[in-house]
Amino acid sequence: MGFFEALFNNLSFGQTVILFSMFIIPIGVLLALFGIKSGIKLGRNFQIGGIKNTGVSAQDLVLIINETADICIKKSEIQFKELLRSQMNYAEQRLIHLKGLKQSIYLTLLSNHLEDKSEKNNVTSHKDYQYYSILLSTSTQDTLDILRSAFKENNFECLAISDFELYIKNKVDLIEQRNTDLLNVTHNNMTVTRVELYEANKSAYHKFLECYKDIFYKSIDIYKRKHAEMDKLDKELENFIELITNKNKNKRGK
């Protein structure tokens, strides 16, 4: 992770925009002005020093700088705000599904212990089920924190499939172990024994794993889609600069 990426990852989007406005844009203006004199090359296809030779006016130069600043802000919003938000929104949806699956497992176990018909018919109102649901909400929040850290790293999109599958399994093992530790210290004196619950969850592990795989693979899809949006913005900027420079070349040719 580069210095600026690490810096921006620790800033809110608003702070990023402020930092950009206070320092990056003024520095860009100075470099542009210096480039007019020195012929500095910026990017793949644009040389500020060529502005003087192609007849680009100071007004057009300001337009280029403003467009560059606008594109950079849009890209920052995508990279440091929209990307993670989209990944987390999908993860939260899938974890709600996973929570429901675990609740269903617990309801079956609890129902098997209840002899009174009225209790069986109102098993979701049982104090043990209510308490277990609270524990699941706590573990879900902890899982979201782990996933958020993983998404911020964003280093798994380059992994080979076999390495990525191992990465997911290791993350899932970490998450489920933390969930197990939570239940070990909180699941006491309840109708469903801790051993029963452990064995039932262990039998359903493959279903848990599939849910987490879906979350991680979807995060890569979102990553690729958001970076495609940033590439499109780069192309828009490149086209804008070419439009300005070609316009002035045509003027000189007349």
pLDDT in tens, 31-84: 454 444 444 344 444 444 444 445 567 787 788 888 888 999 999 999 889 999
Q: Are 73 and 22 in contact (CB under 8 A)?
A: no
Per-residue pLDDT at 192: 96
Q: Among 45-49, 152-156, 220-224, where is mean pLDDT lowest?
A: 45-49
- Residue 41 three-state SS: strand
Question: How many C-beta atoms surround the C-beta of residue 45 within 10 A?
Answer: 10
Q: Are 71 and 167 in contact (CB under 8 A)?
A: no
Is the model more confident about 23 or about 179?
A: 179
Bridge partners for 41 per DSSP: 47
Is the model more confident about 40 or about 167?
A: 167
Q: Quickly state the pLDDT bin for 230 (edges 50, 70, 90).
A: very high
Residue 11's alpha-carbon distances to 77, 150, 174, 207, in angstroms, are: 12, 17, 28, 37
Beta strands 41-42 and 46-47 are: antiparallel
Q: Are 91 and 144 in contact (CB under 8 A)?
A: yes
Q: Among 18-22, 114-118, 148-152, where is mean pLDDT lowest?
A: 18-22
| pLDDT above 70 for 2 | no
Its domain, for residue 194, covers 3-253
Distance in angstroms (rounded) separating the CA atoms of residues 215 and 95:
9
Is the model more confident about 136 or about 60?
A: 136
Average pLDDT, the chain: 81
Per-residue pLDDT at 228: 95
Q: Are 45 and 238 in contact (CB under 8 A)?
A: yes
User: What is the number of domains present in the chain?
Assistant: 1
Instruction: Give me the DSSP letters along 196-231.
Output: HHHHHHHHTHHHHHHHHHHHHHHHHHHHHHHHHHHH
This prediction has a pTM of 0.75
Per-residue pLDDT at 45: 43
Is the model more confident about 157 or about 183?
A: 183
Can you read off the two tokens belonging to residue 118? 């009225």
Per-residue pLDDT at 196: 96
Per-residue pLDDT at 17: 47
| pLDDT above 70 for 7 | no
- Residue 47 three-state SS: strand
Per-residue pLDDT at 135: 96
The amino acid sitting at 41 is: K
Note the pLDDT tens digit of each residue in 172-197: 999 999 999 999 999 888 999 999 99
The amino acid sitting at 189 is: N
Which residues have CB under 8 Å from 37's CB, separation 6+?
49
Bridge partners for 42 per DSSP: 46
Q: Among 102-106, 133-137, 149-153, where is mean pLDDT lowest?
A: 149-153
